[in-house]
């Protein structure tokens, strides 16, 4: 969606924000300028969410937070302008950000949660199980994050 389209939508009273998963960090400022400071801007891309918030975004709709709730502390630090803490936490989360998207979301995160013992196995259509080729990749990211 073009930022100009978002600005037109921001004029509608019951549309209060946008989830931007483009990973285009320049859009954070532009959306703020076009839509106004009262129009919430949430990142939908975990890999750039920290920087998104540090540039004026209002939060993140996160996949990583499902397996690593410390994502909340990263967001709080970023929203509070604590660059050092936010970046430090984000650096530890980066392998998960990338690995949890080796296949279509939510397939890898569901597999990871099962691997962590937090949910049972099985997945409903139209989703399919995580490809066996990615099991070791996701497991290594979980191990690096001290989750398994």
Integer distance in angstroms from the first to the last C-alpha of the chain? 39
Give the three-class secondary structure for 101.
coil
Compute the distance between CA of residue 66 and CA of residue 70 in angstroms, rounded to an integer.
10
Q: What is the pLDDT of residue 134?
A: 97
Strand partners, 60: 43
Q: What is the pLDDT of residue 146?
A: 82
> pTM (2 decimals)?
0.87
- Give 27-80 pLDDT, tens digit per residue: 999 999 999 989 999 999 999 999 999 999 999 999 999 999 999 999 999 999
Do the beta carbons of residue 97 and residue 112 sit within 8 Å?
Answer: no
Q: What is the pLDDT of residue 148?
A: 80
Contacts of 62 (CB under 8 A, 6+ apart): 46, 49, 71, 75
């Amino acid at each position: 969606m073009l930022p100009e389209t978002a600005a037109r939508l921001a004029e509608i009273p019951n549309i209060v924000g946008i989830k931007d998963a483009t990973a285009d960090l320049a859009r954070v400022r532009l959306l703020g300028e076009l839509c106004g400071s009262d129009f919430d801007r949430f990142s939908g891309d975990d890999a750039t969410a920290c920087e998104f918030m540090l540039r004026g975004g209002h939060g993140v709709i996160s996949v990583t937070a499902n397996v690593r709730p410390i994502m909340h502390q990263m967001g709080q630090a970023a929203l509070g302008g604590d660059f050092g803490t936010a970046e430090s936490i984000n650096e530890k989360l980066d392998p998960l950000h990338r690995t949890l998207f080796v296949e279509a979301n939510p397939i890898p995160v569901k597999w990871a949660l099962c691997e962590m013992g937090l949910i049972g196995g099985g997945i409903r259509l139209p989703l399919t199980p995580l490809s066996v080729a990615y099991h070791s990749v996701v497991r290594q990211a979980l191990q690096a994050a001290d989750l398994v």
